Amino acid sequence: MDTKRTETMTRQKKIIISVTTIVAALFLIGSYFVGNYFIEYMLGRKDSDYDDALSPSYDKPAAEVENRQAANLAVAKLQAEVGFDEVYIQSRDGESLYGKIYVQPDSNLWAIVVHGYTSTHNSVQDVATEYYNRGYNVLTPDLRAHGNSSGEYIMLGHEDGPDIVEWAHYIDHADASIVLHGFSMGAATVMIAAGEDDLPENVVAVIEDSGYTTAIQMMKEQLKFRFGLPSFPIVNISNIISIVKTGLNFNDPKPIESIQNCDLPMLFIHGDEDNYVLQYMQMELYNSYQGEKDFLIIEGAGHTAGRYLVPDIYYTYVFDFLDKYVQ
């Protein structure tokens, strides 16, 4: 009797172990495929011209649409009347990086304006126009794996920050005063650049618009917002795949830590209707920063859309801030 009971219990244990093993294997296999899809979705190269394409639920107000159209006309006018130069530099790890430059022959003021995630330099030509019309030379680069720059996978600012440092060194003018102005992932990029030890001393101020605190926190928010999925184990497994496949560790891009190695004046801008990089990240960045700083919250603005919704307020705030530090 005891022998039969023991045999039955043994069979039951084997069945439980087998079922558990199969379920665990299926779970891991499923997580791998989801994680691999997540890598291609998040980091695969795909170029567009507008960061706010990433906020599909954002319904643009009529004023924003009209102001965007007016900004595009101003860009067309600048390019027709002034023209631009196109240049390439090489990154530290051998990637070819493209930039478009508007030159003011008699000015020592420079702005490096950096586009966002899956966008290109074209998406910030309106900002370049504003800087140019105020007397700045302007450089608008394509980040690696975007636009005309080489690279297979998006690095979420980790390699892009050092790339912007290289662009700042490219501006080979001893008396130049350089401003870094970035949007979305470009904002994360300029914050990371600001914390690099070899950033040129003639970089004098940073404007970050809609940047995130850390890449991994932004990813977790996106999994929840876009897919209704928990971050564990998808982000964890995706990170392992990413390290092997792309070389990017999700834990590395940490703008909130980079800016602790920086003392440049910094302006933090965000729209309170941003559903891509949530607005609370702005205040976490602002509150953590120990240098000279200011912030602007734009009511009703979606992701990187403040400059279109209320351009007068946006640019007045930006240039009033810069006028205190740029000479």
Instruction: Provide the 8-state DSSP code for 292.
Output: S
Cα–Cα distance between 95 and 144 in angstroms, integer? 7
Cα–Cα distance between 23 and 4 in angstroms, integer? 28
What's residue 183's pLDDT? Answer: 98
User: CA distances (Å), 82 to each of 70, 189, 203, in order?
Assistant: 18, 28, 25
Query: Does an H or E element contain 207, and which?
Result: strand 203-209
What's residue 33's pLDDT? Answer: 77
Q: Are 265 and 291 in contact (CB under 8 A)?
A: yes
Pairing of strands 177-183, 203-209: parallel
**What residue type is assigned to position 11 of the chain?**
R
What's residue 144's pLDDT? Answer: 98
Q: How is the chain split into domains, by residue range?
A: 1-43+215-252, 55-214+253-323
Q: Are 131 and 180 in contact (CB under 8 A)?
A: no
pLDDT string in tens for the chain (327-residue length)? 566 666 666 776 767 776 677 765 666 676 677 778 888 888 999 866 654 434 444 578 889 999 999 999 999 999 999 999 999 999 999 999 999 999 998 999 999 999 999 999 999 999 999 999 999 999 999 999 999 999 999 999 999 999 999 999 999 787 999 999 999 999 999 999 999 999 999 999 999 999 999 999 998 988 887 777 788 888 888 899 999 999 999 999 999 999 999 999 999 999 999 999 999 999 999 999 999 999 999 999 999 999 999 999 999 999 999 999 998
Q: Are 123 and 51 in contact (CB under 8 A)?
A: yes
CATH superfamily, with its number, for domain 55-214+253-323: Alpha/Beta hydrolase fold, catalytic domain (3.40.50.1820)
Give the SS3 label for residue 164. Answer: helix
